[in-house]
Amino acid sequence: MEILLLGTGSADGWPNPFCRCASCRSATEVRGQTAALVDDVLLLDCGPEAPRAAARFGRSLASVRHILFTHGHWDHVGPMALLMRHWTGVAETLEVVGPPSALGQCRDWVGPDDPVRFVEVAPGDDVRLGDYRVRVLAAAHGADIGGDAVLYDLESVDGRVFWATDTGRLPAETHAAVAGAAFDAVFLEQTFGDHTGHGTEHHDLPAFAATVHQLRDSGAVADTTDVVAVHLSHHNPIEPELTRVLSNSGARPGRDGEVVRVGAAATSMRTLVLGGARSGKSAHAEALLAAESAVTYLATGGVREGDPEWAERVRLHQQRRPDSWRTIEGSDVAEQLRSAENPLLLDCLGTWLTARIDLHRAWDTGALDGVHADIDELVAAWRVCPAPAVAVSNEVGSGVVPATPSGRLFRDLLGVLNTRIAAESHDVVLMVAGRPLRLPAQ
C-alpha cells in the first residue's frame, strides 16, 4: 500500500498566510490541508486544495474510484472535485463514502447520469470498497455539524492503516475497535501543539502523546508502526522542536508530498534526495528514515586529518542522528547495499564519486574505465538493495561551467551517476532552500 500525503496541515495550513508568528516565520515547508491518495485509487478526504496538490506532486486522479470523507468541515470536503471529474467524461463508477455532513455537500455537484455512488456510513460500519476493507470508527469531533465525524481503519492484502483526522482524544469504543490491530501506519491529527487551552475537539501535543501511549498499550500501535502527525498548525513549535517532541512518542511530523509505503510496497523502497550546498538535503533524508528503529548510515566522506571545519560538519551530522543508528565509514558501499538487513542512508554520492576518482587516479590521467565500472556496480547494487534505502547527492548541473578540467570531470560524472540512480529509484526529491520538491517520474 502506498499513501501519498497530499497535505499535512490544518484548515489554515502551516504557515498561515495571514500570520507572522514565530512558527509561521520559521516554517521551512508549506503545508496544505490534510488529505491523502492511496495506491492512486482512493482518496482519504478531498478538501479544496487536494486536486491541485496531486497535480503538483505529479499524480493523476483519473484512476480514483473511492473518496472517503471523514466529516463535513470545509477543509476536508471540496465537492468541486466531483465537477472537475464530470467534465472529463469519465465512465467508471466513483464511490463517495462518508457521514451525512459530508455527503450532503456533494450531491448537488454531480449530474443525474454521473457514475457516482454515495455511501453514507456511521461508526461501526464495515464496508468493502474494491480491494479495501473499511472499518468506520467514531471520532471526537464535529459537534457543530451534528457530531457525525468518523475515522477510518483501512486494510488491504498489502497493509493496514488508521486515518485519524480530525478528532480529539479517541472515544473508548474506537480504542476497543482497534485494539491489537498493529497498524502499519497511523495518521493521527495533532493540531494545537503547545496550545493546550484551545477547548476544541483536536489534539495538542500532550493529548497526542496520551493517545499514542494508549494505542501502544492496546496493541493498535506496534514497534514497527509508522506514527505520522498530520493536520499540523502554526500553534506548533518550530519544526526541529516539534520533531524532537514527537519522537518521544515514537512519532514524526508528516510532510506534504511524502510517500508512505507499507506492506510489500515498503520493501526495497529507494529514494534519491538531490540538492545544492546547504539546501537541507541531508536533514530531509534523515527525516525520511526517522521512524525506523535501526538504520545503517553509510558515511562516504570519511575523515580528513587536519581539517577542523570538516570535522565540525561531521560532528553536527552525527549529533542529529539517533543513537540507534549505526554509522559505517569507508566501507564497500555496493556490498553494503546488496546485503542490507536494515534501512540504509547513503550520504553522499558526491563524496563516494570523489573517492573512486582518487582511487583510480583519474583526475590527471582521464582514464575512466575503472570509475565507470564502479558506477555500474553501485547502480546494480542500488537496484537490488533488499531494504529501504535513501541516497543523498549534490545537484551540480545548475551552476556555471567549472573553470578547471577536474571540476568539469566531476560535474559530468556526477550528473551521469545521479541520472542512473534516479532511474532506479521510486522517488526523487530536489531540495531547494530547505523545501522538498518531488520530481515526477518520466
Contacts of 259 (CB under 8 A, 6+ apart): 2, 3, 4, 5, 426, 427, 438
Among 28-37, 43-52, 238-247, 362-371, top mean pLDDT goes to 43-52
334 SS3 class? helix
What is the C-alpha to C-alpha distance for residues 243 and 251, in angstroms, rounded to an integer? 8
Between residues 92 and 268, the one the model is more confident about: 92
Q: What is the pLDDT of residues 99-147, one digit of tens each?
A: 999 999 999 999 899 999 999 999 999 999 999 999 999 999 998 998 9
Mean pLDDT of the chain: 91
Q: Hey, what amino acid is at 410?
A: F
The segment(s) of the chain belonging to CATH 3.60.15.10 are: 2-261
Between residues 348 and 206, the one the model is more confident about: 206
Least confident of 62-76, 295-309, 418-432: 295-309
What is the C-alpha to C-alpha distance for residues 21 and 14, in angstroms, rounded to an integer? 11
Least confident of 42-51, 94-103, 247-256, 283-292: 283-292
Q: What is the pLDDT of residue 405?
A: 86
pLDDT band per the 50, 70, 90 thresholds, residue 318: low
Q: What is the pLDDT of residue 302?
A: 55
Q: Scanning the structure block, which residue is given the C-alpha cell 545537484?
A: 395
pLDDT band per the 50, 70, 90 thresholds, residue 315: low
Q: What is the pLDDT of residue 301?
A: 65
pLDDT band per the 50, 70, 90 thresholds, residue 268: low
Average pLDDT over residues 311-340: 77
Q: What is the pLDDT of residue 317?
A: 58
Kindly report the pTM of this predicted structure. Answer: 0.73
Average pLDDT over residues 283-309: 78
Q: How far separated are the first and last CA of the chain, in Å rounded?
A: 22
Q: Please tell me which residue in 317, 360, 372, 426 is annotated as part of the active site.
A: 317
Q: What is the DSSP letter of 14?
A: B
Fold of 2-261: Metallo-beta-lactamase; Chain A (3.60.15)
Q: What is the pLDDT of residues 350-386, one digit of tens each?
A: 999 999 999 999 998 888 999 999 999 999 999 999 9
pLDDT band per the 50, 70, 90 thresholds, residue 316: low
Fold of 270-439: Rossmann fold (3.40.50)
Q: What is the pLDDT of residue 313?
A: 61
Q: What is the pLDDT of residues 394-419, one digit of tens each?
A: 998 777 788 888 989 999 999 999 99
Q: What is the pLDDT of residue 269?
A: 83
Cell numbers at 208, concatenated: 497526542
- Longest Cα–Cα distance in the chain: 76
What is the C-alpha to C-alpha distance for residues 272 and 388, in angstroms, rounded to an integer? 11
Nearest to 231 by CA among 194, 259, 256: 256
Active site residue 141: no
In this structure, are residues 126 and 135 in contact, taking their beta carbons and an 8 Å threshold?
A: yes
pLDDT band per the 50, 70, 90 thresholds, residue 306: low
Among 25-34, 119-128, 304-313, top mean pLDDT goes to 119-128
Q: What is the pLDDT of residues 162-208, one digit of tens each?
A: 999 999 999 999 999 999 999 999 999 999 999 999 999 999 999 99
How is 143-198 classified by DSSP, letter by letter?
GGGTS--EEEEEEETTEEEEEE-S-SSPPHHHHHHHTT--EEEEEEE---TT----
The segment(s) of the chain belonging to CATH 3.40.50.300 are: 270-439
Q: How far is CA 191 from CA 200, 251, 363, in A?
A: 10, 14, 54
In this structure, are residues 102 and 77 in contact, taking their beta carbons and an 8 Å threshold?
A: yes
